């Protein structure tokens, strides 16, 4: 359990934190290692991050694990990532269950190897009753694809007479997204210093607070997480309006 500093306001903890986990390859390259070693080290950061978020009172943690564009990577690296995903879930599922962690995956997992799909399916089912924190991995996920998928699903319901085109609003459309049932991210963190969303949660992050750190994901520890939360707590979330004192 982490020690929460006195300057962290527990009444203003983000309900949902999303993270673009970037920098595994650079971490390895700087140390003269193979990229696979960077991915392995990055996977080891997931468990401490989940635990720290849980201790802070974060209810949802969404991690960008593999984008729909990452298929362009070398076959050897992709195959390693699927094996890493398999062994990570198998290794951690017992502790995740004990810690009250619910597990979800967003994205199209159909192109994944059968062993990876099976371990995901089993973990989602086994941890479905947990309620303390929801860990979501975005795998073969792309924000544009998600929006197009949602639009197609809604159009099918309209054509089937199950949806009224004149009643479409944000709440209704959100139910067709992968993230249906989850609140939008309050805080979106990107590691490794890049200033872009990389097609991650485009619809959901409209009013998310963005935080970019130069820390590479394998080095993203509790201190780095607390720095992100501090930055979040220093901001005024107007959501398009004005705070009372400025109105």
| Active-site annotation, residues | 22, 70
| CA gap 89, 124 in Å, rounded | 10
CA 97 vs CA 116, 123, 140, 189: distances in Å: 19, 9, 25, 26
| CA gap 66, 63 in Å, rounded | 9
∠ Cα 17 18 20 (to 5°): 145
Contact partners, residue 1, CB within 8 Å, separation at least 6: 51, 55
Q: Where are the beta strands (DSSP E) in 99-178?
A: 101-106, 133-141
């Amino acid at each position: 359990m982490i020690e929460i500093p006195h300057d962290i306001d527990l009444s203003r903890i983000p309900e949902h934190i999303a993270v673009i986990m970037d920098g595994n390859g650079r971490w390895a390259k700087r140390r003269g290692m193979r990229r696979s070693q960077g991915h392995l080290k990055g996977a080891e950061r997931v468990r401490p991050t989940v635990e720290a978020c849980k201790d802070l009172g974060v209810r949802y943690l969404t991690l960008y694990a593999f984008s729909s564009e990452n298929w362009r990577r070398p076959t050897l690296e992709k195959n390693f990532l699927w094996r890493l995903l398999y062994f990570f879930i198998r290794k951690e599922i017992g502790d995740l269950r004990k810690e009250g962690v619910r597990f979800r995956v967003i994205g199209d997992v159909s192109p994944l190897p059968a062993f990876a799909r099976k371990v995901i399916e089993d973990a989602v089912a086994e941890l479905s009753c947990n309620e303390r924190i929801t860990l979501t991995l975005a795998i073969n996920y792309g924000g544009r694809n998600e929006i197009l998928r949602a639009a197609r699903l809604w159009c099918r319901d309209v054509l089937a007479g199950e949806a009224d085109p004149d009643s479409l609003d944000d709440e209704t459309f959100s139910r067709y997204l992968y993230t249906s049932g989850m609140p939008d991210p309050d805080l979106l963190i990107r590691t490794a210093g890049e200033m872009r969303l990389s097609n991650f949660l485009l619809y959901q992050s409209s009013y998310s607070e963005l935080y970019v750190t130069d820390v590479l994901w394998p080095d993203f520890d509790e201190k780095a997480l607390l720095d992100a939360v501090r930055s979040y707590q220093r901001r005024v979330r107007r959501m398009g309006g004005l705070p009372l004192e400025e109105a």
